[in-house]
Amino acid sequence: MAYIIFYISLLVWLLPPLRQYKGKLFLYFLVFAIADPLTRISTISFHTNAYQIHGLISFAAILAVSVNKISKKNIVFIFTGFILTLFVISTQDRNIIFLYLILLHLVIIWYFLKETLISFSKNNFLTLGWVVLILYEISIVLKLIVALEVTQASTIYYYLTTGFQILIAVFFTIYKVEHSPKIKLSVKNMDMS
**What per-residue confidence (pLDDT) applies to 140?**
93
**What per-residue confidence (pLDDT) applies to 125?**
84
Longest dimension (CA), the chain: 67
Residue 190 resides in a domain: no
Let me know if 2 is exposed, middle or buried by CB neighbors in 10 A (0-12, 13-18, 19+): exposed
**What per-residue confidence (pLDDT) applies to 138?**
95
Residue 32 resides in a domain: yes
**What per-residue confidence (pLDDT) applies to 188?**
56
Q: Pick the closest to residue 184 from 128, 111, 102, 143 (CA basis).
A: 128
Q: How many distinct structural domains can be found in the chain?
A: 1
What count of other Cβ atoms lies within 10 Å of the Cβ of residue 15? 16
Amino acid, res. 35: A
Residue 189 resides in a domain: no
Residue 192 resides in a domain: no
Task: For residue 19, give the DSSP letter.
Answer: H
Residue 18 resides in a domain: yes
Handedness of CA 48, 168, 135, 165 (dihedral sign): negative
Residue 115 resides in a domain: yes
pTM of the model: 0.87
Residue 193 resides in a domain: no
Residue 191 resides in a domain: no
Q: What is the mean pLDDT of each run of 10 residues along the chain (193 residues)?
A: 82 94 93 92 86 92 84 80 92 91 96 90 87 95 86 80 93 91 68 45
What is the domain extent for residue 154?
Answer: 2-184
**What per-residue confidence (pLDDT) applies to 56?**
94
**What per-residue confidence (pLDDT) applies to 113?**
95
